[in-house]
Structure 1
Amino acid sequence: METKRILLIVSGGIAAYKSLELVRLIKRQGIAVRAVMTQSATEFVTPLSMGVMTEDQVYGDMFDLKEEREIGHIQLSRQADLIVICPATANILAKMAAGIADDLATTILLATDKPVLAVPAMNVRMWQHAATQRNLAQLRADGVTIMEPDSGAMACGEFGPGRLPEPPAIAERICAMLGHSFDSTLTAGRAPTTLEAQPDFADITHRPLFGKRVLVTAGPTHEAIDPVRYIANRSSGRQGFAIAAAAAEMGAEVTLIAGPVHLVTPPGVIRIDVETALEMQSEVEKALPSDVAIMVAAVADWRATEAPDQKIKKDGKGIPPLTLTENPDILASLAQHKNRPGLLIGFAAETEKIIEHAQAKLAKKGCDWIVANDVSGDVMGGANNAFHIVNKDGVESWPDSPKDVIARKLMERVAHALAQG
């Protein structure tokens, strides 16, 4: 049987993060996916993450010379069996209805001769506005299939129709439009976790951390041996920055205390740069109180007892002694602090006996959760991660996924825990 192909157009909105899960579900059905992202969509989901999920180039620039030499927007509009816009914002729906083609996504939509499925997601007032309803009527008349949005809590705090349907429901509609048999056993690939089995799990809002203070540490620390050399580790800071970004997107007031990394500060995040473990401990205490603290940083276990002001020189008399002293345990001290966060989460980067070491660390540190991961491969500095959440209730394991997807899922888990008290 010939492989069915869809072209997924992702427009800008907080629901864009669900497009990654949709890609995963569609590919599990044996359907190939190619993605186009609008400029605003890249503010919510990175093209790198989308490229990892689709295993293909991600398109976004109308004026990519190589592609446009080959009339790329025409080829993209004709090569797929179905074009899906998910999420479809009020803005892109309005452009479609008016026949506007001012970027790659809308140019493809105007040039296509293939079926089009639009999956709207927007604020309830925008959905109910006369202009949006008029645009939807025009699109239906033009032959565009509109998948009705779900009702529920909005990212802005309002309630009503406008929420993006859950990815499995969207995947099923896509299969139906392609005449492709839908296998519901492939939508999850695993049994639902205890959290996901909760009746109200699907009703967690996209902005459920509004009003909460979240503290995140990220990256390595550098402990000086002399003015030139230092003790460090391979942490890139990417996972911690992704967690800070997800928390901010979900409405939290986020303080990010970062070791020496070269990463862009996520929008809406207060960033404090430090170098050493002692500096990080000091800034963590200054950032209290907080509702949640997520200690992602890979803090060096030791520092040099003495760090001279001048470079240590080789003198032909052998290796000079290096005396080490133990750095403070920031996580353990935070667990005993008078302003202890309501939810305290530590990270455990391990190379063996991952869960066993995490359980021991949970008991020793006095925190609420330990998030453990195997760093024996290329996790440190890589684009993906896989987690085991260890707490008093047991172990919850998540499969290897892009770090921003893992971050969003973790923060949804945090939001649910806070809501349960």
Structure 2
Amino acid sequence: MAAFVFSVMVVFSSPGSTYAASFDLGAKSAILVDANTGKVLFSKEPDLTLPPASMTKMMTEYLVLEAIEKGTISWDTTTQISDYPYSISANPSFSGVGLKQNHDYTVRELYEAMAINSDNATTIALAELVAGSEKDFVDMMNKKAKEMGLPDYQFVNSTGLSNKDLGENRPKGTEADATNLLSARSTAMLAYHLINDYPESLEVTSVTTTKFDGQTIQNWNWMLPNMPGYLKQFGYDGVDGLKTGFTDLAGYCFTGTAERDGQRLISVVMKTDSKEARFQETAKLFNYGFQQFSTKELYPAGYQVKDQSELKVTKGKEDQVEVETKSALKTMVKNGEEKQYSVKYHFDKDKLTKDGKITAPVKKGDKVGTAELVYKGDEKYTNLLSGKPQKTTVDLVTTSSVEKANWFMLALGGIGDFFSDVFTGAVDTVKGWF
């Protein structure tokens, strides 16, 4: 099983961590990310591995949606409940939706109960449907985590429960006392892939209440707008997901996502003190993100760096061609940092001669390299997916065409070069006499 696991008691700082001045966050570990670019806006011990509890179900959601996309199953596919998920559903300590045996449930019904009400038994039923057994599904979870490039993960079941809670039902090949483990960074990466690869997942996670088998089930995400009664006070404008979690070992955790004015954020808080605290701390992160950052166009399409806008041409009717950015350079910018960005050209060496010229013919719009947005401020902005400094680039293209010179002009040029070399050599020889 591919996994990178550290003791849940170890605390260390990541070199990519960013901390806001006077920002007090009541969570053991946390991260805030721009869902569009993957730019990390804030982090606190983001690489500390902890039990994610029911946030594990985001991976199950992903694999179910992937199976639907591949045509292996559909939303209307029906399945019945085996003894294992039935025993979990019948156990009052798991407070499930009360599944019945010898009854057909659609994938949509089971998925909604899992994503909205965080039901464990419906999660297991879906895992069995997709993979044949929860053991094989766990193998799929770990394989997908590796494909996604999650840096810290261990999946031992589909639900996020501790294996000791599952008893003899735990997936074969996993330890009796094992638990799922993720870092805040890995959890955010999982959420990033879920909502970007399958944005339709938000149509379900944004539902406050729904009907399941004749009963009303409620979303545990209290930050959704229009939550009923007492929960309304936790509502946050723009929130439409994503997943809560709680076990005695994990504490209270939450992966949230919110969108305002086309700007979407993903947040993760792990090991907070209470049900309420996980949402209160998430609100702090969202407030910081939406109030301190905005997506800005720093350089428009067609931008040219002064004194670097021309590229020499060889074997062409013209000696040079201008270059410019094909599209605008945009990024999430912190208030007051607009002037901390500049543009740097990176020419494609494979398209240039050894002396840095482009060979005709050249077409208008030919890509000759990239233009990179370079940050020179004091913050340490990293990319969630790469773990490296945030990098924003666009294509660098030619602004016009340059035809290839005819053979006569090329010949004249060659003769000129010949006599130029002869003259230069003669001058050097004469200078050598003295």
TM-score with structure 1 setting the length: 0.27
TM-score with structure 2 setting the length: 0.26
Higher relative contact order (CA 8 A, sep 6+): 2
Which entry has the higher C-alpha Rg, 1 or 2? 2
